Amino acid sequence: MQDLFGGENVAVRAGATLLRGRALSLDTLLLAALERIAAEAPFRRMVTPGGFEMSVAMTNCGTVGWVTDRTGYRYDARDPARGLPWPAMPDIFATLAQDAAAEAGFPGFTPDACLINCYEPGARLSLHQDKDEADYGHPVVSVSLGLPATFQFGGLKRGDPTTRVPLSHGDVIVWGGPARLAYHGVLTLKDGEHPVVGRRRLNLTLRKAL
Ligand code: MD3
Ligand code: FE
């Protein structure tokens, strides 16, 4: 279906809408904001409760940020590495997420947390569910920037069959309703050089956590 921005909206599955290139015209603004956030709260590879260091480096902005350490996964109002609040969420992130959610059928989405994932070649995110938020009635909005990646999603059980979707610079996906608790992950990032972002992939995941 043709959207208001002349882009293509694809129903990846019930509740999941891919807005191809929806963030393309904003990439310079988004990357400038990301640079300011990472200068204040640097990317770091966190440790899972099982004791493994994640291959994806992360930081956050917003009222709360997603963190993991030996004690578990949680949303925290402070960056544990600095003992300080996370950088504020830039208006452009919140507006993009709210607009994309509305276009996908979820009006009134007001994110309070933005997890920023940085993948270098070789990094991956294994199949998981996003379950640390208070209310699964809110959608999750994801924005891809930089190197292309293969996104993998399955069903509500870990063993359910999975589908692969290629994601590239500027793509936005909205997950809500029956897709909200679907298992998903990102396959190992291939090497490459993106003309604007360089040798990495950045992903914003905007959520209403509280
Ligand atoms: C499907 N990040 O940070 S975002 C994550 O590209 C995460 O960095 C991936 O999964 C990345 O938790 C994918 C897309 C995404 C986010 C949340 C979802 C897909 C989802 C929640 C339910 C179903
Ligand atoms: Fe996730």
Q: Taking a C-beta distance cutoff of 8 angstroms, is the pair 148, 167 a contact?
A: yes
Q: Which ligand is nearest to the CA of 167?
A: 1
- State which H helix or E strand residue 90 sits in: none
Between the CA of 111 and the centroid of ligand 1 the distance, in Å, is 15
Q: Residue 47: pLDDT above 60?
A: yes
Q: Which of 7-16, 45-54, 68-77, 125-134 has the lowest mean pLDDT?
A: 7-16
Between the CA of 142 and the centroid of ligand 1 the distance, in Å, is 7
pLDDT tens profile 18-40 = 999 999 999 999 999 999 999 99
Our mutation pick for probing the ligand 1 site, out of 18, 74, 175, counting the most ligand atoms within 8 A of Cβ, is 175
Between the CA of 185 and the centroid of ligand 1 the distance, in Å, is 7
Q: What residues are neighbours of ligand 2 (ion), with CB under 5 Å?
A: 130
Between the CA of 37 and the centroid of ligand 2 the distance, in Å, is 21
Mean pLDDT of 177-197: 97
Supply the pTM of this predicted model. 0.95
pLDDT score of 2: 55
Structure tokens belonging to residue 69:
């350490």
Between the CA of 15 and the centroid of ligand 2 the distance, in Å, is 15
* Residue-range domain boundaries for the chain: 2-207
- The CATH number that domain 2-207 falls under is 2.60.120.590
Pick from 160, 198, 149: nearest CA to 182: 160
Our mutation pick for probing the ligand 1 site, out of 56, 168, 203, 206, counting the most ligand atoms within 8 A of Cβ, is 203
pLDDT score of 10: 77
pLDDT score of 9: 83
Collapsed DSSP state (helix, strand, coil) of residue 208: coil
Looking only at the bridges linking them, the beta strands covering 16-19 and 172-175 are antiparallel
Structure tokens belonging to residue 85:
């609040």
pLDDT score of 189: 98
Whether 183 lines ligand 1, by a CB cut-off of 6 Å, is no
**What are the E-state strand segments in the chain?**
9-13, 16-19, 57-62, 65-69, 72-76, 78-79, 84-85, 113-119, 125-128, 140-146, 149-153, 163-167, 172-175, 184-186, 201-207
pLDDT score of 6: 52
pLDDT tens profile 103-121 = 999 999 999 999 999 999 9
The set of residues, in sequence order, having a beta carbon less than 8 Å from that of 90 and lying 6+ positions away, is: 33, 36, 37, 61
Whether 114 lines ligand 1, by a CB cut-off of 6 Å, is no
Mean pLDDT of 64-74: 98
Tokens 């490459």 -> residue: 192
DSSP 177: G
Report the nearest atom of ligand 1 relative to the CA of 130: 21
Rounded Cα–Cα distance for residues 116 and 135 (Å)? 21
pLDDT score of 11: 82
Between the CA of 130 and the centroid of ligand 2 the distance, in Å, is 5
Q: Taking a C-beta distance cutoff of 8 angstroms, is the pair 81, 151 a contact?
A: no
The set of residues, in sequence order, having a beta carbon less than 8 Å from that of 55 and lying 6+ positions away, is: 45, 119, 122, 123, 124, 125
Q: Taking a C-beta distance cutoff of 8 angstroms, is the pair 12, 173 a contact?
A: yes
pLDDT score of 149: 98
Q: Residue 181: pLDDT above 90?
A: yes
Q: In percent, how much of the chain has pLDDT > 70?
A: 97
pLDDT score of 1: 55
